[in-house]
């Protein structure tokens, strides 16, 4: 037992440290001597092995040192330390616990440690510790000597997350232009050579890391990289060229195998998607929606779109950028003609390319599912002849991109799974798979479901791997960790990265600014930052400020007062204090200025040096123009009688004393004596006498209050309510002592110039939260449909109608292939049910390998259909037929495979087989015929007469347009 304990423990710890260091040093090296590494890696891969060995020795020594020091230190350090090491890889958390529980005999202890460690590190480290850590990391990276402390201080999770960021900031900071150029070129050739030569160790060990990071550095090159890498990969696959280079044999031999069928199908598919791409030179359907974002990208103006993450928009924008689009076209209605200056072809190129590449992907995917080339051809043809997919690919829409990435993810995962377990190069497939998943999610949120399916399949396979007794523990652990990193960590990082690119591209203020917080807005050029640039950061006694309410999303409003009093009696007969009104006003106005005053002193100017206001200080707020004090008292507020009225105090000598002291309560403070900061601090103003909190109630006042918004003070049980905060937006240090001067000062605009930034993470989190929470009003649409109508294709969508003739484009699927798809779905489920019941009763119909092939087919295809269809049944948004297209692709994949299965395993009679073949070819023929029939509606030409259109209306529910002549 002891032996097992030691060996397991040794392996676990050992491996983690080794792995960590290898990764870490590669990160370091790629910026210090990247060229050397790359070149040497590619020249002789054994160098890497030596390299690893070196670190093995180093790490062992390191471990000893750690252990000894831990024992010397108090005993509670040790579990922490161990846990650090053990739980450094997040997925192996459980594994580690297994080991420690069963073996280390410290069940309770370990559990506690793991819990606390996980919670602490994931929560706190991720947020703050890491932020500082990464800076240290960057510095120490250069020195390259004291990385050990980094290992100790931040756990590997956070390091992994942040190494990208470190590297990024590192690079951005000191841009050594020559170095950068060299890195870039190196990396590009590294990518290419990796893809082509499939260099095993290099690919996994350095390529994945260097590639990622170099991509990160050059964010403007990233489009090329991401798209190009995928395209290169696919093109390599496409021609199935196996290039084997014998370096040592002198007659250099290059053998190439080309799958002619695949090439032909791909060419046809390219032709069908790309020909006459700029034909309706007018805005088609949802181009009107995506177009606005494209032009905002071109102008680099910030926007929020809740329909999906930014990658899809960025791909479209890339197309526009390549075509030299300048952003000066307004997509305002469907059917509007593009001006000649806009290169329509380039706008639509990338989606069309993705759509075209789906066809060879399906071909290869069928092969990876272990079906024959004939089935693969069938699947490719079904996809190729699907009118709706053609329509959806040919315009500036995102479905084809989504489908492309999803198919690529599955293809590369299956490649990974099918290749022999000994080769390390297969992990590069896993990397491609993870990256495609992340891209799919980045294009549309729907991609999440496919991603989850892939994760499910992958975890099943991993579970099987864990069950394999013949493989030793270390190898299993390594593989699990690799899968975890490549399928979970990498996609998450990439997903964040899309946002990074998005945010760094869009740096100007625009129409959606108002949805974001002041701090966010201030980070954008123009807009709020124009006003707030160069304001003093710390609010001091004597500061002149405007206070914006945090509750007033999406319309902003500022604390306001004016020379008008509350009416003596309200409409319902209730009395008021008749003091000066205090409201919240949604427009910039000179009456929004307030002066922060120290209750103990009289003057309203900032001293030198300025005395900053801190959390917990008691202040008075003086209205700039009227010099009234912000006051509250036990009088019911005008519209919300349960709350206290807030007023500008006028002394009417009616025994109503002033109660104008307010305590500053900074809700997002980090330290107890935090200084009140402009824009950054969210402040609650607590009334000292009654401990009520200043609050905008959201009710608008009647005419006497000029329909401005009511401000009240309310006593609250609920402390955690985000709607109570106020932010200082405009701010300057007051200098004038006299009221007249002060008024003049308030009228003059503020500006001095300093830049202020919030971190990328804060921006990312805010943007992501906004995107998920901003709700568009669910609107009806003429062509919206219910998910159940999609299966039978009850509806169509008219995409475009020529302005004068009957030429038109519709989203209509190929009815025959649609029917075939549904039939195969049904058939598979029936067949699977029968097989399963019979197997359970001990009747084995299929040999084990065929059965697992059949199951795998079901998992991918039927599972894919389910995850892409069922969620729509529960959604409440407006849905369209094109949402069904990803699910449909899976069915096309299923259909020929199922046919082949029937042919080889169900039918034994030769006549039956022949009959089935004849039937299949007849179906294929009719698919082609119906494709030809609907072609005019797919490509928008030639124009059809009304009678012909009538003839195409195969279903009564279809809406085909006729122009009355």
Q: Which residues bind other proteins (CB under 8 A)?
A: 1, 94-95, 97-98, 101-102, 105-109, 111, 114-115, 463, 466-467, 469, 473, 476, 698, 717-721, 777, 779-780, 782, 837, 840-842, 874, 876
Q: How far is the CB of 510 from other proteins (least distance, A)?
A: 23
Nearer to other proteins among residue 32 and residue 93 (C-beta): 93
Q: Which is nearer to other proteins, 201 or 480 (CB)?
A: 480
* Distance separating alpha carbons of residues 426 and 461, to the nearest angstrom: 15
3-class SS at 370? coil
Tokens representing 700 are 């608008």
Nearer to other proteins, 115 or 146 (CB): 115
Q: Which spans in 717-785 are helix H?
A: 739-747, 760-773
CB of 332 to other proteins, least distance (A): 17
- Answer yes or no: are the C-beta atoms of 314 and 398 closer than 8 Å: no
Cα 14 from Cα 20, distance rounded (Å) = 10
**Token pair of 416 as six digits:** 């990974």
Report the C-alpha gap between 292 and 313 in whole angstroms: 10
Comparison of 641 and 698: residue with beta carbon closer to other proteins: 698
The token pair that represents 696 in the structure block:
């905008």
Please tell me whether residue 722 adopts helix, strand or coil conformation: helix
CA–CA gap between residue 959 and residue 796 (Å, rounded): 7
Q: Say if strands 618-623 and 662-666 run parallel, antiparallel, or are unpaired.
A: antiparallel
Beta carbons of 207 and 56 less than 8 angstroms apart: no
* CB nearer to other proteins: pick between 339 and 702: 702
Least distance CB 683 / other proteins (angstroms): 18
Q: How far is the CB of 719 from other proteins (least distance, A)?
A: 4
Closest CB 169 distance from other proteins, rounded Å: 33
Q: What angle do CA 742, 745, 746 make, to 5 degrees?
A: 90
State the DSSP H helix or E strand holding residue 187, giving kind and residue range, or none if neither.
helix 177-197
In whole angstroms, give the CA distance from residue 393 to residue 891. 18
- CA Rg value for the chain: 33
Shortest distance, CB of residue 120 to other proteins, whole angstroms? 14
Are 881 and 392 in contact by the 8 Å Cβ rule? The answer is: no
| Cβ at position 840, least distance to other proteins in Å | 5
Minimum distance of other proteins from residue 552's CB (angstroms): 13
Q: And the tokens for 939?
A: 């490509």
Which CB atom, from 60 or from 109, has the smaller least distance to other proteins?
Answer: 109
Closest CB to other proteins among 119 and 196?
A: 119
SS (H, E, C) 121-180: HHHHHHHHHHHHHHHHHHHHHHHCCCHHHHHHHCCHHHHHHHHHHHHHHHHHHCCCHHHH
Least CB distance to other proteins at residue 619 (A): 24
Contacts of 49 (CB under 8 A, 6+ apart): 201
DSSP 465-494: HHH-TTS-HHHHHHHHHHHHIIIIIHHHHH
- Say if CB 892 and CB 362 are below 8 A apart: yes
Which residues, 6+ apart, have CB-to-CB distance to 111 below 8 Å? 97, 101
Give the Cα separation of 142 and 29 in Å (integer). 9
Shortest distance in whole angstroms from residue 843 CB to other proteins: 10
- 731 DSSP β-pair partners: 545
Return the number of the residue (740 or 841) whose C-beta is nearest other proteins: 841
Q: Report in angstroms the alpha-carbon separations of 588 from 531, 558, 634, 651, 674.
A: 11, 8, 30, 29, 28
Secondary structure of residue 655 in the 3-state scheme: coil
Q: Cβ 96 to other proteins, closest distance in Å? A: 10
**Contacting residues for 168 by C-beta, under 8 A, at least 6 apart:** 213, 216, 217
Quote the least distance from Cβ 109 to other proteins, whole Å. Answer: 7
Q: Measured between alpha carbons, how far apart are the two ends of the chain, in Å?
A: 91
Smallest distance from other proteins to CB 264, Å: 45
User: For residue 40, what are the contacts with CB-CB under 8 A and spacing of at least 6?
Assistant: 47
Q: To the nearest whole angstrom, how small is the minimum distance from the Cβ of residue 717 to other proteins? A: 5
Q: Dihedral through CA 488, CA 492, CA 498, CA 503, nearest 10?
A: -170
Based on CB atoms, which residue is closest to other proteins, 240 or 721? 721
Q: What is the DSSP letter of 486?
A: I
Specify the residue, 703 or 753, whose C-beta has the smaller distance to other proteins.
703
Closer by beta carbon to other proteins, 251 or else 842:
842
- How would DSSP label each residue in 40-71? HHHH-THHHHHHHHHHHHHHHHHHHHHHHHHH
Q: How far is the CB of 108 from other proteins (least distance, A)?
A: 7
Inter-residue contact 433 to 486 (CB < 8 Å): yes
114/195 with CB nearer other proteins: 114
| Cβ nearer to other proteins, comparing 672 with 777 | 777
Name the residue nearer to other proteins (CB basis): 10 or 463.
463
* Tokens encoding 327: 């952003």
C-alpha–C-alpha distance, residues 875 and 872, integer Å: 5
> Of 408 and 701, which has the nearer Cβ to other proteins?
701
CB of 485 to other proteins, least distance (A): 19
In the bound state with other proteins, the residue whose beta carbon lies nearer, of 106 and 688, is 106
Whichever of 101 and 261 has its CB closer to other proteins, that residue is: 101
Helix (H, G, I), strand (E, B) or coil at 543: strand
CA angle, corner 686, sides to 685 and 689, nearest 5? 140
For the CB of residue 94, give the shortest distance to other proteins in the complex, in Å: 4
Nearer to other proteins (CB atom), residue 58 or residue 118 = 118
Write down the least CB distance from residue 707 to other proteins, Å.
Answer: 9
Tell me how far apart the alpha carbons of residues 736 and 544 are, in angstroms, rounded to a whole number: 11
């Amino acid at each position: 037992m002891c032996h097992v304990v030691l060996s397991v423990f040794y392996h676990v710890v050992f491996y983690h440290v080794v792995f960590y260091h290898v990764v870490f040093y590669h990160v370091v090296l790629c910026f210090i001597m990247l060229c050397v590494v790359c070149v040497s890696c590619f020249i002789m891969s054994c160098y890497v092995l030596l390299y690893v060995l070196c670190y093995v020795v180093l790490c062992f020594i390191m471990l000893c040192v750690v252990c000894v020091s831990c024992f010397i230190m108090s005993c509670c350090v040790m579990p922490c330390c161990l846990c650090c090491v053990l739980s450094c890889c997040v997925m192996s958390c459980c594994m580690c616990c297994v080991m420690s529980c069963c073996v280390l005999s410290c069940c309770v202890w370990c559990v506690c440690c793991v819990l606390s460690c996980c919670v602490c590190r994931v929560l706190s480290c991720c947020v703050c510790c890491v932020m500082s850590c990464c800076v240290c990391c960057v510095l120490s990276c250069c020195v390259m000597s004291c990385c050990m402390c980094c290992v100790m201080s931040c756990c590997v999770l956070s390091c992994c997350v942040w190494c990208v960021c470190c590297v990024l900031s590192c690079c951005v900071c000191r841009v050594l232009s020559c170095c950068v150029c060299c890195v870039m070129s190196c990396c590009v050739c590294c990518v290419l050579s990796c893809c082509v030569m499939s260099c095993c160790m290099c690919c996994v060990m350095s390529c994945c890391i260097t590639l990622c990071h170099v991509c990160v550095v050059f964010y403007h090159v990233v489009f090329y990289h991401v798209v190009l890498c995928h395209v290169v990969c696919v093109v390599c696959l496409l021609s199935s060229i196996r290039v084997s280079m014998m370096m040592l044999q002198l007659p250099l031999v290059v053998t190439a195998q080309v799958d002619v069928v695949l090439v032909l199908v791909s060419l046809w598919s390219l032709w069908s998607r790309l020909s006459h791409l700029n034909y309706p030179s007018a805005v088609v359907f949802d181009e009107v929606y995506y177009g606005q974002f494209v032009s905002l990208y071109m102008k680099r103006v910030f926007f929020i779109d809740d329909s999906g993450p930014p990658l899809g928009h960025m791909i479209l924008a890339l197309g526009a950028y390549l075509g030299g689009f300048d952003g000066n076209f307004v997509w305002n209605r469907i059917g509007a003609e593009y001006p000649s200056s806009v290169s329509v072809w380039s706008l639509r190129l990338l989606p069309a390319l993705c759509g075209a590449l789906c066809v060879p992907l399906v071909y290869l995917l069928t092969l990876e599912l272990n079906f024959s080339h004939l089935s693969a051809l069938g699947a490719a043809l079904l996809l190729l002849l699907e009118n709706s997919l053609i329509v959806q690919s040919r315009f500036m829409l995102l479905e084809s991109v989504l489908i492309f990435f999803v198919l690529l993810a599955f293809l590369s995962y299956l490649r990974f799974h099918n290749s022999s377990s000994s080769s390390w190069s297969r992990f590069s497939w896993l990397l491609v798979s993870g990256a495609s998943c992340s891209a799919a999610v980045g294009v549309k949120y729907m991609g999440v479901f496919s991603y989850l399916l892939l994760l499910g399949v992958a975890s099943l396979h991993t579970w099987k791997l864990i069950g394999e007794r013949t493989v030793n523990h270390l190898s299993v652990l390594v593989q699990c960790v690799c899968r975890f990193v490549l399928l979970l960590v990498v996609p998450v990082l990439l997903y964040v990265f899309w946002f990074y690119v998005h945010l760094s591209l869009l740096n100007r203020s625009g129409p959606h600014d108002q949805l974001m917080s002041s701090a966010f807005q201030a980070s954008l050029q123009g807009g709020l930052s124009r006003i707030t640039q160069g304001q003093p950061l710390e609010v001091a006694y004597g500061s002149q400020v405007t206070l914006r309410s945090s509750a007033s999303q999406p319309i902003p409003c500022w604390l306001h007062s004016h020379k008008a009093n509350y009416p003596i009696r309200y409409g319902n007969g209730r009395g008021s204090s008749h003091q000066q009104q205090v409201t919240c006003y949604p427009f910039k106005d000179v009456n929004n200025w307030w002066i922060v005053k120290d209750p103990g002193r009289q003057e309203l100017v900032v001293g030198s040096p300025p005395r900053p206001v801190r959390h917990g200080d008691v202040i008075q707020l003086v209205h700039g123009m009227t010099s009234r004090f912000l006051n509250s008292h036990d009088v019911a507020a005008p519209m919300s009688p349960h709350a206290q009225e807030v007023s500008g105090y006028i002394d009417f000598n009616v025994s109503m004393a002033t109660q104008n002291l307010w305590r500053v309560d900074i809700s997002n403070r980090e330290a107890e004596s935090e200084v009140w900061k402009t824009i950054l601090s969210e402040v609650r103003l607590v009334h000292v006498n009654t401990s009520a909190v200043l609050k905008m109630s959201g009710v608008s006042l009647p005419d006497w209050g000029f329909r401005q918004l009511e401000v009240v003070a309310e006593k609250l049980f609920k402390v955690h309510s985000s709607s109570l905060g106020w932010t200082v937006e405009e701010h300057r240090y007051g200098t004038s002592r006299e009221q007249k001067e002060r008024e003049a000062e308030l009228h003059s605009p503020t500006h001095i110039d300093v830049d202020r930034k919030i971190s990328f993470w804060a921006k990312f989190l805010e943007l992501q939260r906004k995107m998920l929470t901003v709700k568009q009003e669910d609107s009806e649409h003429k062509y919206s449909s219910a998910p159940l109508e999609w299966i039978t294709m009850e509806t169509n969508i008219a995409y475009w109608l020529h302005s004068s003739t009957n030429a038109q484009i519709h989203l209509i699927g190929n009815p025959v292939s649609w029917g075939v798809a549904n039939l195969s779905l049904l058939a598979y489920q029936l067949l699977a049910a029968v097989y399963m019941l019979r197997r359970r009763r001990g009747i084995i119909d299929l040999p084990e390998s065929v059965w697992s092939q059949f199951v795998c087919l079901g998992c991918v295809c039927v599972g894919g259909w389910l995850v892409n269809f069922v969620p729509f049944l529960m959604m409440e948004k407006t849905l369209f037929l094109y949402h069904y297209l990803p699910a449909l692709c899976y069915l096309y994949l299923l259909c020929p495979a199922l046919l082949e299965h029937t042919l080889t395993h169900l039918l034994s009679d030769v006549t039956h087989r022949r009959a089935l073949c004849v039937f299949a070819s007849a179906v294929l023929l009719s698919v082609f015929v119906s494709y030809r029939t609907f072609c005019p509606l797919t490509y928008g030409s030639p124009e059809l007469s009304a009678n012909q259109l009538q003839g195409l209306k195969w279903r009564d529910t279809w809406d085909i347009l006729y122009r009355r002549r």
